[in-house]
Structure 1
Amino acid sequence: MKNFLTIILFAFAMSINAQNYIEHKVKADETIESIAKKYMVTPFDIYALNPDAKSKFKPNTILIIPNSKVKNDEIEEESKELIGYKTHKVKRKETLYGISKKYSVTEEEIKKANRQLYSENLKKGDRIRIPKFKTFVSKQSYKNTIRKYKVQPKEGKWRVAYKFGITVAELEALNPNMKPILQPGDELNVPNIEDKEEKAIETQYNYYEVLPKEGFYRIKVKTGLTQEELENLNPELKEGGLKEGMVLKIPDSINTTANLSDIEITKLGSNLKNFRTKKLALMLPYRLNRIDTDSVEEAKSMIKNNKLLSIVLDFHIGVRMALDSAKQLGVSTDLKVLDTRYQPSTTSKLLADNDFSDYDAVIGPMEEKSFDRVATALRRDRVPVIAALNKPKEVYANVFQTIPDDKLLEKAMIDFVKKDSLKTKVVVIADQSHRSESEMIKKEFPSASLIYSQKNKKTGEDAHFIYPVQLENVFPLGKTIVFLETDNDAFASSVISMLNGLMVDNTEIVLVTLNKSKAFEGKDIDNNNLSNLKFHYPSVNKDFDEMNSNGFVEAYRKEYGVSPSKYVARGFDITLDVLLRLATEDNLYEASSDVIETEYIENKFRYNKSLFGGYTNEAVYIVKFDDLRIVEAN
C-alpha cells in the first residue's frame, strides 16, 4: 500500500496555505523533537498530521508542519513530592478504594507504599502506610495547534470543517481513522483556535463545497455570486483565496444543482493527454464456484436461466469492448477481475488479499453491503468506487453513483413539461397510493385537474379504477398533458385504453409519468395505445438507434449474432467513460466537474458532487413512444 504520507500530501496538495501549514524536508541530523522545537509546536502536532513519521522517519521525508493561529494560554501542570507516610489501621469491610478516597491518594500509590497488597487482600487489623505528598503547581506555555473536539448532534464532516475554518480533506487528514459517518460524542483532532473564532452554522444560509480546480468564475456561473459577494459572506477568502474542499456560506435561496438542459455534450476523445496505463478492478458476482466447468451443457443452462449471471456476463462483455475501444484511442488498461460471489464475506476477503491503493477506479460490487465495504475500505486511499448497477446506501466521498436519483428523474419530467411553449392543459390521474406525487404535480401546475381512483365502499381500500364519467368534459380541443401515476397494472391498462378512446377530432392527449413502473409494461398494455398517446417518461438510459450505423452495435452483432442488451451497453458506456475521463486529467475527481457531460451508446453522465459526500450522475433522458419505437424526446 502506498505510504500514508503520500495520501496526506495529496489531500493537502490543493489546499496548503502558507498561513496554515509549512512543508519541511527532514535533514540527516534532525529528530521529531528538534523539528517541533524549531517550529514552536509539539511532537503530537507533527504526528497528528504525519502518522507515518512514527515508524518511517528518515532524511528527505516531507513533513506537514502546522502554523495556524492558535491559543497560547499558559497551562497549569501539577507535580507531587513525597514527604512522608501516615499509618492507617484497616477496619472491617474497608476497601482499598475507600481508603484511597479518604486520604486523596490513588490505589496504586497505596500499593507502592505497601508491596504486599499486590498479592494479598486487605484484612481487618492490618496496619498500612498512606503516602503524604506536597503538591507543586507550575505554569507551562505550549504552542499546541491541535486539540480534541467532541462531535455534536447533527454535525457531519462539513459542519465540523466549516466550524474550524478548514477543508473536509484537512479534517480527514487530521483524523485518518475517522468514521465515514460521524456520531455525536466522536472525538476528533481539530485546530486549536480561540473559541470566538469558531464559525457557527447559520440556518438562514446554504453551504457549498469548492470543487477541484474551481475558481470564482465557475462558482459565479453556478450560483450567480460575484467574487466580491462571496468574500463579503466569507471574509477568509480575502486572505487565502479559494481552496478545494473549503466550505462557503451562500444565500439559502441559491440552488447549486446545475440546470439539466444547459450543458453541452463533451467529446472527451479530443482532449486526451494522460496516456499512462489505467488500473481498473471489476468486482462482480460471477459466482463461478456454482458452475460445473466440466459440464458444458450445465454451464450453458445456468447462463441461460440465471438472471443475475446473465446480467453480470453481459456487463462484463461491455467492459471488455470498452477496453478495446479505449485502446484504439491510445489508452491502455490493466484490468483485474474479481468474483464477489454476491457475498459480503467474500468481498471482505478480496479486500484483505489485494492492494487497491494505486488503482484508478474500482467498478462494483453489486450487492449493497459488499459495495459499502469496498467504498469504506478504499476511501482513505481516495480510490474511486463506481456504483454501476446499483444505488449505494451511502454515497461516500469516493463513490460515483451512475444511476440518477428518482427525485432527479421526477424533476426532469416536470421541467420538460414546463418547457412546452403552448398554453397546455394538465390533468393528473393517480391511484390512492400516489396522492403525494399528485399533490406535488399540482403545486407545479396550479391549474391542473386531479382525478383519483375509486375506493372500495365496504373496505375503504383502493379499488384501482375510475368511472368513464370522471373523464367527461375534461379534455378540450387542442393538447392536454396527462400525468398517470400508478404501480397497478390493471389501473394503468384501463386508464390508457380510456384516454386512447378520447383521442377524436382535434383532441390531442399526451401521456406522461414521473416514474415508469412495471405497470406500464403489463401484459394488458397495448403499445399501439402508448404510441398513439406519445407516452413520455424520464429514463436513466435510452435505446440505441437501430436506424443509424453504430460501430459498437455492429461489432457486437458480428461477434454474437444478436443486438446487445442494455447491460452490455451499460458496461461499455460506464467503462469507456471512466477510462476517457482518466485520460483527460490526473484522476477521476478532477475529470468529473459538473460542466462535463458525456454520452455514449445508451447512457450519459454528468456528475455533481454532494456537499455531504460523493458524486451522483445528474444526466437524465426524456424518452417517448414514437411509431412503436422508444426514442429520445426533444
Structure 2
Amino acid sequence: MNRFFLVLVLVFALGFTSVNAQNFSTHQVKKGETIEAIAKRYFVTPSEIYALNPDAKKELKPNTVLIIPLSKAKKPKTVVVKELQGFKKHKTRRKETLYSLAKKYDIAEEDIKKYNKFLYADPLRKGDKLQIPIFKITEEIEEEPTKTYVVQPKEGKWRIAYKFGISVKELEELNPEMGEVLKDGQEIIVPNIEDEDEKEVDEKYSYYKVLPKEGFYRLKLKLGLEKEALEALNPGLAESGLKVGMILKVPFNEAISIETSNSINLADSIVDFNSKRIAIMLPFRLNRVDFQSKADTKNSIVKDRYLDTSLDFYSGVLLAIDSLKTLGVSLKVDVYDTKNEVGEVSKIIDDKDFETVDAVIGPLTSNTFDKAASKLRPYNVPVVSPIGLNLKLYDNVFQSRAPNDKLKSTLVNYIKADTLADNIMVISDSKHTAISNSLKRDFNYAKQVHSRKNKESGEDEFFVIKEDIEGALKPGKNIVFLETKNEGFVSNVTSILASLIKAEDKSTNTEAIEITLATTNMNRAFTGDGVSNEHLSKLQFLYATTSKSYKETDNNPFVKRYEKLYNTTPNSAAVKGFDLTMDVVLRLVTSEDLYMSVNNAPLTEYVENKFAYKKKLFGGYYNNTVYLVNYQDLTIVEVKQ
C-alpha cells in the first residue's frame, strides 16, 4: 500500500468522525476475491470502488484495505418462511403471560392463539394446557420486480428498452430522472428478468419503434411485413400485442432506423496520444488568385465561390487544430489545393505519401471526391466528404452529410407520432408534384392543393388564393406541408395561412384553428427577403435539417474564439470545418481507427453538426442523423424527437 493510499484510508477512518463518516465503509481483501465480487457484495458498481481506490485497477492484493461507498441501491428484500414441524405441550404456571411464553419459545403471541383458539375469547390462566407450535424458520430472498442496470457504451434508450422487453416510454417511467442523454456507466432501473431472457441488438437487422395508433395493418403497409412475420421475429409479441414505443426487430432496411440521442463527448475519452496524420483537400484554386494588390486579391476571393467556401471551411479547421492541441492531441496536417480538377487530385495522390495518412477530409465536389476515394481505397484510407450527397459509397467513404430521404423520414415520422394532428394538407407547385404524391401515400387522408396555372399557357403561376386553402382546413390542429423552391409562392402561402389561424371564441361559437407549417425540403425560398419571419414564427415552421444554427446567447467557446481571431461571426462553412475536423480526429484518438469509431461512438455532436455513421450493407458509411427544428418567437429552436 503506497503512502498516498494509506493517508487516504486514515483520512476516511479518522478524519470523518462527523456526518461524512456514514458515507463509507472499508473491506479487507481476501485471497482470490475480485472487484466484481466485492462490488456485488456491497451493492455498488466496480467503477465506484475504483474511484476511491485507483491503485486497485493495477493490482488487487490480499489484505489490501478498500474504501467502499455505502450503496444507494435498493437491497433485495428477505421474507421469513415458517414451516410447522409439530407441537410441544406446556402447562401454564403462575405469573406466565402470552408475552413471556412468546419470548420463551421465540414465537409470536398470535402463533400461540392460532393453535389454542380458546385464548381468543378467554385470558390465559394458571393450569391451562397449551400446545406450542414448533417452526422451522428459513429466510428467502424476495425477487424484486426491478434491478439496477449500468449503461454500456453505445447504448441509448431504445437499445436498453429492447434488451429488457419494454417500451421506451416504460423505461422513462421507471427512471423519471434519467435525462435525455444516457451516459456510459450511468445506473438506471430496469425489469428484473433472467439473463437468458435479455435480448441483444443484432446489427444484421433493423429496429423499428411503434408509433401511436399503429396497428398490424399500418405496419404491413409501412414495413411490408405480415403480422405472423413480425411475431416470428419478436417472441412474446403475440401475447403482448403492439404497444406505443415498443421496439420491433425487422429485416435489415436502410430506410428504417431509430434515432439515438445518446451523444458522446469524445474529448473525455482520449486514449491514444500517438501522433495522427490527416490530409485536407480543398478547391482553393490559388492559381486563379490575382495577388498584384490587396484589392485584387479580395476581388478574386469574392468572385470565386470555391475559394470563398474553402477559406471559410479552412478557418474552422484551423481553430479545431488549435482546440485539439489543448487536449493533448498530437497532429500532423497536410493541406492540398485540388484546384477543383480531377486530374490534380490524381497527381497529388500519386506524388505524395498517403499510405500513412489516418484520414482525408475532402475534396468538396462530387467528381473530385470520387477520384480521391477510389485512388485511396487500396490503402484503406478513410475519406470524409464535408458536403457531398449521393456519393459512390466505396467501403472507405464517410458521407458526413445525411441523405435527403433521412430529412423527409424524420419529419414524416415525427408528424405521424403527433396524436393531436387533426388534418394534413400538402400545398405544392407543379415542379414538386412527385413529393406531394409521396406525402399523400404517407398520409392517405391528406388533402392536396396545387398552385394555380395560367389558363392559356398552362404554366405554373406560383400562387393560390385564400379559398383554395380555407376549405381544406379543419377545426383543431392542421399540419400543412409546403413543397416549393419559389420564394414568391412561399410568401403567398405563408401570408394566407397566417391569416387563417383562429382562436376559440365561445361567444360567437368559433372553433380554434391551429396551423403548423412544414416542408420536407428547406431551401433558400423560405429564407428570402420577401418571406415574413413573423408569419413563419406564427405558423411554428417545422423542418428537418443537417445542421442547426448556433445561438449567440449560448456563449459558445468556438464562436467567441472565432470572432476574436477573425473579427467576424463564423458562417456555416466555418462551423462545419471546425465540427468535422474535431469529430474525425477525436474518433481517431478514441478508437483503433475511423472505421472502429462507428461502433464505439455512435453519436457525436459539436457546435452545429452531429454525426452518427451507419454502414451500407455493401459499401461505405453515411451520416444517419439530422436535427428537427421549428420557429418559435422569431428564433429557430431544436425540437426533441
Separation (CA, whole Å) in 1 of partners of 2:618 and 2:372: 19
For 1:588, which of 577, 586, 594 is the aligned residue?
594
> Are the aligned partners of 1:413 and 1:622 in contact in 2 as well (CA < 8 Å)?
yes
* Other-structure match for 2:280: 282
Cα distance, 1:294 vs structure 2: 4.7
Asked whether the equivalents of residues 453 and 464 of structure 1 are also in contact (C-alpha less than 8 Å), the reply is yes
Could you say which residue in structure 2 is the equivalent of 1:217? 200
Give the equivalent residue in structure 1 for 2:622.
616
- What is the SS of the residue equivalent to 1:427? strand
SS at match of 2:340: coil
CA deviation profile, 1:263-291 (whole Å, cap 9, x unmatched): 41111122211111110000111111222
Q: Is the 8 A contact 1:427 1:449 kept in 2?
A: yes
Is this contact kept in 1: 2:260–2:603, CA < 8 A? no
- Counterpart in 2 of 1:531? 537
Q: Please say if residues 204 and 252 of structure 2, whose CA atoms lie closer than 8 Å, have aligned partners that are also in contact.
A: no
Q: CA deviation at 1:258?
A: 6.3
Larger relative contact order (Cα-Cα within 8 Å, sequence gap ≥ 6): 1
Q: Tell me if the contact between 2:587 and 2:601 (Cα under 8 Å) persists in the aligned partners.
A: no
> 1:560 matched to which residue of 2?
566
Measure how far apart 1:409 and its partner are.
Answer: 0.7
Q: Deviations over 1:200-230 (max 9, x none)?
A: xxxxxxxxxxxxxxxx9341695469xxx9x
> 1:305 & 1:337 partners in 2: Cα distance?
22
Structure 2 counterpart of 1:384, one-letter code? P
**Closer/same/farther in 2, CA of residues 255 and 594 from structure 1, 3 Å limit:** farther
Query: Any residues of structure 2 matched to 1:11-22 within 5 Å, and which?
Result: none
**Post-superposition CA distance 1:141-166 (Å, at most 9, x none):** xxxxxxxxxxxxxxxxxxxxxxxxxx
How far the C-alpha of 1:489 sits from its partner, in A, is 2.2
CA deviation profile, 1:447-501 (whole Å, cap 9, x unmatched): 2211122233223332322232122333233221100111222222111111011
Aligned position for 2:402: 404
Relative to structure 1, is the Cα distance of residues 220 and 541 closer, same or farther in structure 2, using a 3 angstrom cutoff?
Answer: closer
Name the counterpart of 1:544.
550
- Read off the aligned partner of 1:519 and give its amino acid letter: A
Q: 1:293 to 1:462 in 2, by over 3 A?
A: closer
Q: Which residue of 1 aligns with 2:241?
A: none
Distance change in 2, residues 1:221/1:289 (3 Å):
closer
Could you tell me which of 512, 535, 541 is aligned with 2:518?
512
Report the Cα offset of residue 256 of structure 1.
Answer: 5.4
For residues 391-449 of structure 1, give each alpha carbon's deviation from its aligned partner in whole angstroms, at most 9, with x where no partner exists. Answer: 25311110100111111111111112122232432111111222221122122222221
Letter in 1 for 2:400: T
Cα gap change, 1:288 to 1:265, in 2 (>3 Å): same
TM-score by length of 1: 0.60
Secondary structure in structure 2 of the residue aligned to 1:590: helix
**What is the identity, as a one-letter code, of the residue corresponding to 1:447?**
Y
Separation (CA, whole Å) in 2 of partners of 1:388 and 1:508: 39
Match of 2:485 in 1: 487
Say yes or no: does 1:459 pair with 2:465.
no
Helix, strand or coil for the counterpart of 1:563?
A: coil
Contact kept in structure 1, 2:205 and 2:250, CA below 8 Å? no
Asked if 1:476 corresponds to 2:474, the answer is yes
Rate the CA distance shift 1:389–1:417 in 2: closer, same or farther, 3 A: same
Whole-Å separation in 2 of the counterparts to 1:310 and 1:499? 38
1:570 corresponds in structure 2 to 576
Cα distance change, pair 424–592 in 1 and its aligned pair in 2 (3 A): same
Task: Measure the CA separation in 1 of the matches of 2:499 and 2:348.
Answer: 58
Pairing 1:28-427 to 2, within 5 Å after superposition: 217-219=200-202, 223=206, 253-255=251-253, 259-391=257-389, 393-427=391-425
Match of 2:632 among 602, 623, 626: 626
1:3: which partner in 2? none
Number of aligned residue pairs: give it: 398
- C-alpha contact 1:371 1:392 (8 A) present in aligned 2: no
For residues 524-546 of structure 1, the C-alpha deviation after alignment (integer angstroms, 9 at most, x for no partner) is 21111111111111111000121
Residues 260 and 412 in structure 1, CA contact (< 8 A), matched pair in contact too: no
With over 3 angstroms needed to count, the CA separation of the structure-2 counterparts of 1:535 and 1:223, relative to structure 1, is: closer
Gaps of 5+ in 1: 1-215, 234-250
Change (3 A) 1:504 1:347: same
| In structure 2, C-alpha distance between the alignment counterparts of 1:440 and 1:542, rounded to whole Å | 26
SS at match of 2:271: coil
Equivalents in 2 of 1:335, 1:220: separation in Å?
34
**Counterpart AA for 1:409:** L
Distance 1:422 1:472 in 2: 20
The 2-side partners of 1:565 and 1:522 are apart by: 17
AA aligned opposite 1:349: K
Of residues 504-513 and 355-364 in structure 1, the stretch that sits farther from structure 2 once superposed is 504-513
Contact 1:581–1:591 (8 Å) recurs in 2: yes
Cα displacement string for residues 100-131 of structure 1 (whole angstroms, at most 9, x for unaligned residues)? xxxxxxxxxxxxxxxxxxxxxxxxxxxxxxxx
Q: 1:260 to 1:568 in 2, by over 3 A?
A: farther
**Secondary structure of residue in 1 paired with 2:596:** coil
Aligned letter for 1:414? V
Checking the alignment, whether the CA contact within 8 Å between 1:258 and 1:594 is kept in structure 2 is no
Q: Which moved more, 1:472-481 or 1:380-389?
A: 472-481
Q: Is 2:611 the partner of 1:605?
A: yes
| Worse-superposed segment, 329-338 or 256-265 | 256-265
Measured after TM superposition, the shift of residue 605 of structure 1 is 0.4
Question: Following TM superposition, by how much is the alpha carbon of 1:367 offset from its aligned partner in structure 2, in angstroms?
Answer: 2.7
Asked if the contact 1:594–1:608 (Cα under 8 Å) also holds between the matched residues in 2, the reply is: no
Give me the TM-score of the superposition, normalised by structure 2. 0.59
Q: 1:252 deviation in Å?
A: 7.8
Matches of 2:441 and 2:627 in 1, distance apart? 23
Q: Which amino acid aligns with 1:271?
A: S
Q: Aligned partners of 1:222, 1:264: CA distance in 2, in Å? A: 20
SS of 1:482's equivalent in the other structure is strand
Tell me, in whole angstroms, the C-alpha distance in 2 between the residues paired with 1:474 and 1:338. 56
Q: Taking structure 1 as reference, are residues 308 and 396 closer, same or farther at Cα in structure 2, changes over 3 Å only?
A: same
AA in 1 matched with 2:599: S
Query: Could you tell me which residue of structure 1 aligns to residue 74 of structure 2?
Result: none
What residue is the counterpart of 2:446 in the other structure? 448
Partner Cα distance (2:486, 2:269) in 1:
48
Q: How far apart in 1 are the matches of 2:341 and 2:432? A: 35
Is 1:503 the counterpart of 2:486? The answer is: no
Taking the aligned partners of 1:343 and 1:531, their CA distance within structure 2 comes to 43
Which SS does the other structure have where 1:320 is aligned? helix
Distance 1:595 1:582, change over 3 A: closer
Computed over aligned residues only, the root mean square deviation of the Cα atoms, in angstroms, reads 2.5
CA distance in 2, matches of 1:419, 1:395: 32
Uncovered stretches (5+) of structure 2, i.e. residues with no partner: 1-198, 209-228, 234-248, 504-511
> Aligned partners of 2:560 and 2:354: how far apart in 1?
35
Query: In structure 1, the residue corresponding to 2:554 is in which secondary structure?
Result: coil
Q: Which range is displaced more, 452-461 or 483-492?
A: 452-461
8 Å CA contact 2:421, 2:479 repeated in 1 = no
